[in-house]
């Protein structure tokens, strides 16, 4: 498995060799909502106390327009497999 930072890099570069269409499809289903993103970005506490889902959000939100990039990557991957 890759770390959240590695996954963020794969999304940033749209590297389909490192992420299958199936896994990308699952990832798109777990993207943070706008409300979740705002909560995580406003969080001032100890990040080591966050759960795995929240840590995923923290890592992904470091990439500008992460949700749009992930969805675009998914659409491109789906198009390429057909």
Q: What is the pLDDT of residues 17-33, one digit of tens each?
A: 999 888 999 999 988 89
Q: Is 9 helix (H, G, I), strand (E, B) or coil?
A: helix
Give the pLDDT of residue 75: 92
Would you say the pTM of this structure is higher than 0.85? no
Give the pLDDT of residue 62: 94
Burial class of 70 by CB neighbour count within 10 A (0 to 12, 13 to 18, 19+): buried
Q: Is the dihedral of CA 48, 63, 32, 17 positive or negative?
A: negative
Ranges of residues in the chain whose predicted pLDDT is under 70: none
Give the pLDDT of residue 40: 92
């Amino acid at each position: 498995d890759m770390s959240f930072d590695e996954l963020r890099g794969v999304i940033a570069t749209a590297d389909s060799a490192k992420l299958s269409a199936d896994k990308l499809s699952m990832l798109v289903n777990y993207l943070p909502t706008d409300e979740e993103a705002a909560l995580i970005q406003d969080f001032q506490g100890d990040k080591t106390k966050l759960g795995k889902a929240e840590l995923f959000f923290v890592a992904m939100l470091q990439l500008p327009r992460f949700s749009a990039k992930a969805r675009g990557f998914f659409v491109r991957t789906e198009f390429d497999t057909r």
